[in-house]
Amino acid sequence: MQRENRLYDELTPGDTASVQRVCTAHDLYVFAHASGNLNPLNLPAKDGGASPDTVAPSMWVGALISGVLGNVLPGPGTLYRAQALSFDRRVHIGDTLEVTVTVQEKRPDNVVVMETVIRRGDGETVATGAAEIIAPTEKVVMDEREIPDLLLQQHRHFDRIMAMCDGIAPLETAVVAPEDAASLGGALLAAEAGIIRPVLIGAADRIAAVAAEIGADISGIPLEPADSHDAAAARAVEMVHEGRVDALMKGNLHTDALLRHVVKKRGGLRTARRLSHTFVMDVPGLDHLLLVTDAAVNIMPDLECKVDITQNAIDLARALGIAQPKAGILSAVETVNPRIPSTLDAAVLSKMADRGQIEGGLVDGPLAMDNAVDVQAARTKGITSLVAGHADILVVPNLEAGNMLAKELTFIAHAESAGVALGAKVPVILTSRADDDESRLTSCAIAALYQHWKRTGAPAVAPES
């Protein structure tokens, strides 16, 4: 769209222009950063929602006038001299505002006085005033300019996962060797939120010492003593068979020490499917959850294993409320190349999904990373697919690729990550020493939602806000 400015000689008293704008949570965050005004009255609720107590800063409202003056009337080349404003009403997130400027008086030296009025969508006046501007002296015809997007670091998708847990039963969870502050604290945080009902398994004296260190009261929580990590993992698996717990949560022990008992042939928790891990990632700027699998369990999965990895991830996505998950099978390129084995696996997985051998979602591959998640990249490569550019799930060729991808998203793209291992009789919550409290809490929530989906056949629903 082209905009042509109006010179001083072309302006006549009574000339007017209006622009509409909706106040959003993003506007208030950006203004807080730009102005340094961190008044809590002017900041959205933690989840970015429209709290009735959140008031848009008056100077943000006033700043909208400059958008009309600089873009429309008089347009490009306009300079401010002065602005008087009187604020009559407050603006909240979601309000539609109409900003109007009207030529009131022309003065020497290209100075123009503009009447300025801001009204809400209901017609109520928010602010009135007058602007003195210097009108443009040269004709400018300007194309609508694109400026770089701003990336706000928010994790609203994880907020939705937590909200989905409202109203579902706590998950009976064996917490294996919670013998450090992070693992014990994470389990207790999830218990406090009503997401899990923990049973602590490990060295009683060490667990008690950690509880004292973090100031936690664990007197009301069942504790199963175990004199070693191996014994604690074995006891956790036994408790699944006894029907006492419906999930396992890794504490301060090596993943191998726990999974060794989960996957053992006699007395383990094996099913017909291979065990696989799925990272659930809340990536700033992405409008949906992103699942990455397998980045933690299967080192070099063959085709048969990748079928189970893909199916486990689709099931988890459905449990998280994604009705028809789109799984992109990743490789280095988006075409089948016999010299790149992962492209062959991807093509076979795609065809198996077409024939109903992988159920519940759409599967396509091979896809490169760019055209799996970016629509424009897919179009540029000429890929016609319901998955390309829209993938909810990224199935990686091997553990190395998956682990690097997940950590790049976490530490470079500032994503929040959580995850769970599926394919056993119960979900296994695998946490890392680097995980923060939110990651541990969300991992527990994901396991609880998955078990709810398995039990009821439908995902939990977040309550209306």
| Per-residue pLDDT tens over the stretch 50-94 | 567 789 999 999 999 999 999 999 999 999 999 999 999 999 999
Cross-strand bridge partners of residue 395: 293, 329
Inter-residue contact 94 to 22 (CB < 8 Å): yes
pLDDT at site 50: 53
pLDDT at site 167: 86
Q: Report the chain's mean pLDDT, rounded to a whole number.
A: 92
Q: pLDDT (tens digit, 9 = 90+) per residue, 264-283?
A: 999 999 999 999 999 999 99
pLDDT at site 386: 94
**With bands split at pLDDT 50, 70 and 90, how would you rate the model's confidence at 250?**
very high
* 16-20 mean pLDDT: 96
pLDDT at site 464: 62
Inter-residue contact 429 to 250 (CB < 8 Å): yes
* 445-459 mean pLDDT: 96
pLDDT at 147 over 80: no
Tell the burial category of 141 from Cβ atoms under 10 Å away from its Cβ (0-12, 13-18, 19+): exposed
| Distance (Å, whole) CA 195 – CA 249 | 13
pLDDT at site 434: 72
pLDDT at site 452: 96
Q: Which domains does the chain have, with CATH numbers?
A: 2-143 (3.10.129.10), 156-456 (3.40.718.10)
Q: What percent of the chain has pLDDT over 90?
A: 84
How many CA atoms lie less than 13 Å away from 348 in the CB half-sphere? 13
Q: pLDDT (tens digit, 9 = 90+) per residue, 99-125?
A: 999 999 999 999 999 999 999 999 999
The CA distances from residue 44 to 27, 116, 150, 163, 256, in Å, are: 10, 27, 17, 18, 43
**With bands split at pLDDT 50, 70 and 90, how would you rate the model's confidence at 244?**
very high
**With bands split at pLDDT 50, 70 and 90, how would you rate the model's confidence at 285?**
confident
